[in-house]
Amino acid sequence: MIEKLINSLLHKVKPEQMKLSTLFLAGCFLLLGNSLNAQKFAYIDSDYVLSHMPEYATAQAELNSFSSQWQEEIEAKYEAIARLEAAYRAEKVLLTDEMKKRREGELAQKKMEATELQKKKFGVEGELFQKREELIQPVQDMMFEAIKEVASASGYMVIFDIKKNSNMLYSNPKYNVSDKVIKKMGYKPGEVNEEPEKEDNKGNSKAGASSPKGASGTNTNSKGQQTRGGSKSSTGKK
């Protein structure tokens, strides 16, 4: 296609201008090629980077504290409902229709209150979601600023994120700048923070929940081919 474009342009010039036009076009394509080659790409594993940030571990611990407190409150309500239901079943044969109706109404009201509380605390726009935004967003902003500085210093046009569950099928470790971002924030690659037990979307604490990539050991490094299992360990430096 480029050859056709050159031929088309050359047919429009006079013979005496042919040599000059050819040199001009060659120069243009050379500059264009150099410009494209100068565009640099890189990637990070944000889970791996976050595992090195004590601010993230602190925020996650605070979130889990709220989650556990709220979950206990909700469970207490459901346990109270279970006791009322058991008492109602035991006494049902002795109750009049009016008394049954009143007791059933009370049970329905308490169930609705428990459900509303659970939604308020752990719903899509619930308090846990809002707390996560409040506590985690500043940490993510800090990481983003470091990414921008690394991109600016190294001339990267784009930096991708290949954290767990991303759609990136393969990534060359040569272009992994996770450690550069970690160093930019003043931390040492490989020195990860132990992450507290994570809560699920209902607020339940998960024992032994998986940590961000590379958070399972204290000497983990982001180098090595990225796989679903996490980053390969290395003692080398980028």
- pLDDT-derived band at 36 (thresholds 50, 70, 90) equals very low
pLDDT of residue 220: 43
Q: What is the pTM of this model?
A: 0.61
- pLDDT-derived band at 161 (thresholds 50, 70, 90) equals very high
Range 126-146 burial, b when 16+ CB lie within 10 A, else e: bebeebbeebbeebeeebeeb
d(CA 47, CA 152): 22
The yes-or-no verdict on residue 82 having pLDDT over 60 is yes
Q: Which of 14-18, 94-98, 143-147 has the lowest mean pLDDT?
A: 14-18
pLDDT tens by residue, 37-77: 556 899 999 999 999 999 999 999 999 999 999 999 999 99
Contacts of 106 (CB under 8 A, 6+ apart): 84
**Nearest CA-CA partner of 197 in 64, 95, 66, 107:** 64
pLDDT of residue 193: 79
Mean confidence (pLDDT) of the chain: 76
**More confident of the two residues 234 and 193:** 193
For tokens 């611990």, what's the residue?
61
Q: Which of 2-6, 37-41, 151-155, 169-173 has the lowest mean pLDDT?
A: 2-6
pLDDT tens by residue, 97-135: 999 999 999 999 999 999 999 999 999 999 999 999 999
Query: What residues form DSSP beta bridges with 40?
Result: 156
Contacts of 227 (CB under 8 A, 6+ apart): none
CA-CA-CA-CA dihedral for 131, 133, 139, 141, to nearest 10: -160
pLDDT tens by residue, 66-77: 999 999 999 999
pLDDT tens by residue, 202-235: 445 444 333 333 333 334 444 444 433 333 333 3
According to the per-residue pLDDT averaged within each range, which of 15-19, 27-31, 141-145 is highest?
141-145
pLDDT of residue 195: 58
Instruction: Tell me how crowded residue 68 is: count the other CB atoms within 10 A of its CB.
Output: 15
**Nearest CA-CA partner of 144 in 37, 24, 44:** 44
pLDDT of residue 168: 77
